[in-house]
Amino acid sequence: MAKTKLKPKETWWRKALNYSGYALILAAVLFVISFHTNQNKNQLFSLFGYSIAVIQSGSMVAGGYDIGERVLIRSCNSDNLRVGDIIVFYMYTSTGTSTNLTDITDTPDIQTDGDESSSVVQARKPLADIRNEGKELIFHRINRIMVDDYGFRFFETLGDSNNGRVDGFIYEKYVVGQNIALSETVSSVLNFATGTMGMFIIILFPIAILGLLQVKAFTAQMFGAMLANKLIQRKIHYNDKDLKDVDISDYLSDYEKYYVYDVTPQKEKEEIVNLIWGDLDDKEMDIKQKVSATYLKKSFTLYKQDRDKFWDYWIEKEKRNFSHRKLQIYKIRADLVLKQGMSDEEAEIKAVKIFKETNSNGNGN
C-alpha cells in the first residue's frame, strides 16, 4: 500500500549525494572530451555542436593564442562567416584552384546556394577522406572570402603571427568550426578543467564526496533500520528524540506498520498513526495518498470493533502470496504478544512455527 507520508524528510546529505552524482557525470564527459582532444590532433570531439581544440602551433600567438592552449569551437554555417573570424579547418587547398573564384569579401551577405551536380564539385575530396588522411587542423583568421562558379565559398586565411603569409583558399566544407571568444577568466578555467591536473581534481573530488556521502547514507539506513526494529520490539517509545530526525515510515513494511499499530497501547495509537502514516486528513495529499488514507481509516474503524477484523481486512485485501503469508504471521505474532504476554523476540519465533504447523495440517492459506 502506498505511504501517506506527505513530505518525507530530505536531508542535506541526500541532496548532496544527488548533486555529486551529476558532478561525476559532468567530470566523466569532460574527461572524454579532454582525452579525445589530446589523443586526436586532427579530429574534434563534438558535444551539442561544441568542441575543444588544442592550439598546435605558434601562428596565432600575436592574436593571444599560445601553443597548447585549449579553445572552444562551435559548428557554424559557412555563409555566416566574415573576415576577422577565427576558424578551425583542414589544410587542403587544391580544390580551390579547380574553378574560378570571385572575391565577395566586401559583400559577404550575398546568398550562394552551392550546386552539387557539377562534375568539378563532385570530384572534390570528401571531408571524411581528408580527416582519415591525417590532415592537420589549422586555427587561423579569415582574410578574404571568395565564391566559385558553382556557389561554394572559399576562405583565404592567415595566422596573426605569419607576417601576411596566407594559407591559400580553403573549401567551405573543410571548415569544421568557429572559435568562440572567451574572457580571460573563462579561458583559464577551460584550460585548467581539461588539463591533466584539472581533470584529476575534477574527477577525484566528486568521487571522494560521493564515497563519503554513500557511507553516510549507508550509516543512516542502518540507523533507521535499527530504530524501526526497536519500535517493532517496543524497546523505544514513539516520542523518542531519535525518531524525530528519521522518517521511520521508510524503514517499516506495511505488515510491520500494522503490527506496531496493533501492539501499541490504545491511548497511544493516534500518535503512532501520525508517526508512521502522517496526517490522514491532510488536504494536500494526492489521489493515491487519499485512497490509501481511506483504506487505513476503514481498518482503524474495524479495529475499534474487533482487532481480528482489522487483520482480516488487510489479509483479505492482499493478493500477493508472500505478503499474504507475512500478514498472517504478524497477526499470530501480535496475538502472542497481546494475549499471552510474550516478548516480541519470543513471539517472532513462535509465530513462524505456528504458521508452518497450521499450514502443514492443511488449515492455512
> What per-residue confidence (pLDDT) applies to 9?
47
Q: How far is CA 329 from the centre of its chain?
A: 41
Render pLDDT for 25-45 as a digit per residue (tens, 0 to 9). Answer: 666 666 666 655 555 566 777
101 part of a folded domain: yes
Cα–Cα distance, 177 to 87 (Å, whole number): 6
**Shared-domain flag, residues 84 and 182:** yes
34 part of a folded domain: no
Cα–Cα distance, 348 to 342 (Å, whole number): 9
> What per-residue confidence (pLDDT) applies to 27?
64
Cα–Cα distance, 71 to 158 (Å, whole number): 18
Name the more confident of 54 and 361.
Answer: 54
- Domain around 104: 40-194
Task: Kindly report the CATH number assigned to the domain that includes residue 52.
Answer: 2.10.109.10
Cα–Cα distance, 224 to 244 (Å, whole number): 11
Listed residues 194, 225, 253: the one ending a domain: 194
The two beta strands, 166-171 and 175-179, are unpaired
Banded model confidence at residue 239, pLDDT cuts 50, 70, 90: confident
Listed residues 176, 194, 212: the one ending a domain: 194
pLDDT at 3 over 50: no
pLDDT at 77 over 80: yes
pLDDT at 17 over 60: no
2 part of a folded domain: no
Cα–Cα distance, 152 to 27 (Å, whole number): 40
> What per-residue confidence (pLDDT) applies to 192?
79
pLDDT at 198 over 80: no
**Shared-domain flag, residues 135 and 208:** no
Nearest to 290 by CA among 277, 300, 301: 277
**Shared-domain flag, residues 118 and 259:** no
Domain count for the chain, please give it. 2
Render pLDDT for 120-175 as a digit per residue (tens, 0 to 9). Answer: 888 888 988 888 888 888 999 999 999 998 999 999 999 999 887 887 889 999 99
Cell of 52: 575543444
Cα–Cα distance, 259 to 326 (Å, whole number): 11
**Shared-domain flag, residues 210 and 352:** yes
Nearest to 284 by CA among 8, 11, 4: 4
Listed residues 194, 224, 246: the one ending a domain: 194
pLDDT at 217 over 90: no
Cα–Cα distance, 18 to 10 (Å, whole number): 11
Record the pTM: 0.53
Name, of 1-15, 21-35, 319-333, the range with top average pLDDT.
319-333
**Shared-domain flag, residues 275 and 332:** yes
Give the C-alpha distances (Å, rounded to integers) separating 113 from 125, 171, 289.
19, 14, 61
Mean pLDDT over each residue of the chain, to the nearest integer: 84
Buried b or exposed e, range 26-35, using 16+ CB within 10 angstroms:
ebeebeebbe
222 part of a folded domain: yes
Alpha-carbon dihedral sign for residues 246, 251, 254, 257 = negative
Give the C-alpha distances (Å, rounded to integers) separating 278 from 94, 102, 272.
77, 78, 9
Render pLDDT for 316-325 as a digit per residue (tens, 0 to 9). Answer: 998 888 988 9
Q: Residue range 254-267: average pLDDT?
A: 94
